[in-house]
Amino acid sequence: MSKRDYYDVLGVAKDASKDDLKSAYRRLALQYHPDRNKDPDAEERFKEISEAYAVLSDDEKRRQYDLYGHAGIGQRYSQEDLFRSVNFNDIFRDLGFGFGGGGFNSIFDTFFGGQRPRAYGPQRGADLRYDLEITLEEVASGVEKTITLPRHETCDVCHGSGAQPGTEPQVCPQCRGQGRVEHSRSTGFAQFIQVTTCSRCSGTGKIIEAPCTTCRGTGLVPRERRVEVNIPAGVESGSRLRLSGWGEGGVRGGPPGDLYVVVYVKPHDVFQRNDSDLITDVSIGFAQAALGAEIEVPTIDGTAKLSIPAGTQTHTVFRLRGKGLPRVRGFGRGNELVRVVVSIPTKLTSTQRQLLLELAKELNEPVKAKRGFFG
C-alpha cells in the first residue's frame, strides 16, 4: 500500500511552521498513543504520524520530501535515520508518557519492533538535482543534452570501506557497534531512557584506525562525469527526469543515489504555450481584414499559409491543427492558435485619406474631417 502524504497525515498545510507541526503531532500522539488507545489500528496510526513528524520537522528531510515526495526519502534514510534528530523525549514527557514507564523502553521499540538495527553497514548515496534549460524548439523536436555532473563516487582504492587496503574498520568499543549510547535515569516510578549518537564513532558503530589516504577515510572521492540526458518531445517546464544510479556514491558499499534533472523551458519571443497548444499574435492590415487575404504566419517548425476571410474582426482566433507541440499524454500534436490583430495606420497620405473619407461617406459613418488653417 502506498504511503499517504505526510502533510495529510498530520493534517497541516504545506507551508506549516515547525510550531504548527509540533502542535499537530502532539494532538495526534495524544489520541493514538498505544498506552491510551487500545484500538488495534492505533499503533500503526501512531507510527505513521511519528514518521511524518520526523521527516517534516527536519529541514533537510523536509526539503527532499517537498522536491521528490516519498521517492526523495526512499532508501536514502534508514528508519533509524528518520528519527535520529527528533527529540521525542520532551514531547512525550509533556504529554505524561515516559520511556520505560510508558509501555515501551524507548521510541525505537515502537518503530523497530524492539530490534535496533546496526548503524554501520551499506548506505544508499544521496540523490542529486540538476537544473537544465532548453528552448521551445527543442521541446517540439526532443533533444539529447550532455551535462557535466560533479559527484562523489566509491573510492577505487578502499572500495568504499574508508580503511587502507589490508585493514578493516574495527567495532567501536564505546557503543559496541550500535552507533548510539543509552543514558537512563529514574524519576519515581518512571524510567527515562535517552538515546544519543555515539561521540567516538559518530554513529557509524565502527572505528577506522588506518584511514585510506586516497579518500581520507570517507570511502568516496570527487569526480566529474559527462552524462547524456534524453529530453522527450513535448516535455513540460518543471518536469523531473530520473536517471537511476547517477547520484552520489553509496557509503560502505551501498548503491548510488539517483539524479533528478529538472527541465525548464525558456520564454519564447513569438509563442506562448498552453499545454500542447501554441498561441501567437499576427498583425494584418485594415484592407486585409475587410477584403480577406492569404498571409504567411510563423510556426514552431517554420511557416504556414493562413486564409483570412473578408470581414475578419480584430482579435479573431484561427486554429492551425497539428502545428503545436507533441502531446506528452496521448498521440499527435497540439494546435497553433493565431490571433489576428488589425493594424490601424497612424499616418496617411492625402490620397489615402481622401479614399477613406469617401469610404466613410459610402458606409454612412461620420468621421472627423481634418480642416485647413482657414477652415
pLDDT value of position 244? 92
Among the ranges given (13-17, 69-73, 125-129, 217-221), the one the predictor scored with the smallest mean pLDDT: 69-73
Q: In sequence order, what are the residues at sequence separation of 6 or more whose Cβ sits closer than 8 angstroms to the Cβ of residue 203?
A: 84, 119, 179, 180, 197
Query: 148 — phi, psi (to 5°)?
Result: -100, 120
**Is the same domain home to 296 and 356?**
yes
pLDDT value of position 99? 41
pLDDT value of position 254? 82
Say which residue, 94 or 183, is predicted with more confidence.
Answer: 183
- What CATH number does the domain containing 319 carry? 2.60.260.20
73 pLDDT band, cuts 50/70/90, is: confident
Of 71, 87, 114, the residue that ends a domain is: 114
Q: What angle do CA 62, 68, 70 make, to 5 degrees?
A: 75
**Is the same domain home to 218 and 311?**
no
**Is the same domain home to 344 and 232?**
no
- What CATH number does the domain containing 83 carry? 1.10.287.110
Residue 131 forms part of a structural domain: yes
C-alpha cell at 280: 501567437
**Average pLDDT of span 109-117:** 46
Among the ranges given (85-94, 139-148, 362-371), the one the predictor scored with the smallest mean pLDDT: 85-94
pTM above 0.75, yes or no: no
Say which residue, 110 or 290, is predicted with more confidence.
Answer: 290
pLDDT value of position 117? 43
**Average pLDDT of span 21-30:** 89
**% residues pLDDT > 90 (the chain):** 41
**Is the same domain home to 131 and 215?**
yes
Residue 239 forms part of a structural domain: yes
Cβ 91 vs Cβ 25: under 8 Å? yes
What are the CA-CA distances from residue 283 to residues 270, 310, 344, 353 (Å)? 12, 15, 10, 21
Say which residue, 295 or 37, is predicted with more confidence.
Answer: 295
Q: Could you give the CA distance from residue 253 to residue 79 in angstroms, rounded to a whole number?
A: 19
**Is the same domain home to 65 and 18?**
yes
Residue 372 forms part of a structural domain: no
**Is the same domain home to 2 and 104?**
yes
Residue 333 forms part of a structural domain: yes
**Is the same domain home to 123 and 91?**
no
Structural domain count of the chain: 3
**Average pLDDT of span 345-354:** 88
**Is the same domain home to 137 and 66?**
no
Of 266, 284, 311, the residue that ends a domain is: 266
pLDDT value of position 207? 87
Residue 225 forms part of a structural domain: yes
pLDDT in tens, 235-292: 999 898 999 999 998 877 788 989 999 999 999 999 999 999 999 999 999 899 999 9
**Is the same domain home to 54 and 128?**
no
**Is the same domain home to 93 and 34?**
yes
pLDDT value of position 98? 44
pLDDT value of position 68? 72
Cβ 26 vs Cβ 94: under 8 Å? yes
pLDDT value of position 60? 84
pLDDT value of position 76? 64
**Is the same domain home to 148 and 262?**
yes
pLDDT value of position 41? 81
Residue 178 forms part of a structural domain: no
Among the ranges given (26-35, 154-163, 193-202, 207-216), the one the predictor scored with the smallest mean pLDDT: 193-202
What distance separates the 2 farthest-apart alpha carbons in the chain? 112
Residue 152 forms part of a structural domain: yes
The pLDDT of residue 152 is above 70: yes
pLDDT in tens, 283-334: 999 899 999 999 999 999 999 999 999 999 999 999 999 999 999 877 899 9
**Is the same domain home to 151 and 258?**
yes
Residue 375 forms part of a structural domain: no
**% residues pLDDT > 70 (the chain):** 82
Mean pLDDT estimate for the chain: 83
Residue range of the domain that includes 258: 118-169+208-266
Of 249, 266, 283, the residue that ends a domain is: 266
Say which residue, 95 or 68, is predicted with more confidence.
Answer: 68
